[in-house]
Amino acid sequence: MNNMKTEKITFGAGCFWQVEYDFKNVNGITKTAVGYMGGDEKKYPSLTYDEVCSDKTGFVEVCEVEYNPKEISFKKLLKIFWKIHDPTQLNRQGPDYGSQYKSAIFYYTLGQKKLAENSIKKEQKKHVDKIVTEIKKAGKFYKAEDYHQNYLEKRGLKTCRI
């Protein structure tokens, strides 16, 4: 019988295809899914990729990460998060721009919130520009359309970065 207790964290760090790829095969991560979070859930009870890309919904492209805290610490997940994107770019990552590409950490527990806030302070010392990463309580996760799940892996790609 498997009694593994997992936890979740949801990250926005640019195009969700790359974020999922960067987390998917890390030891201790049990599941990933790409989707949308952070906008007006009452106004948008359901959501499509095209709506998110309209830059009008307030939703962020995110990767929901389920992990086993006995195998990987939340601090380690934060280190990966900071490493895979530029947290000083407002509403963009590389060639992708729009509010759906903002840097964000959506937390599920107060412990995660506190660790995320502390990690921003540490990470800021490594950057000249101000970190613009938002830390927000996780809301409803809208799973993206099936063709977005494992997008790079399905195409035999390791990156969508230029």
Annotated catalytic sites, by residue?
15
Q: How far apart are CA 60 and CA 92, in angstroms?
A: 11
Phi, then psi, of 7 in degrees rounded to 5: -130, 165
Q: Which amino acid is at 35?
A: G
Rounded Cα gap, residues 5 and 53, in angstroms:
35
Q: Please tell me whether residue 20 adopts helix, strand or coil conformation.
A: helix
**Following CA atoms 75, 102, 135, 20 in sequence, which dihedral angle do they give, to the nearest 10 degrees?**
-40
143 DSSP β-pair partners: 35
Q: Find the farthest-apart pair of alpha carbons in the chain and give their distance in angstroms, rounded.
A: 50
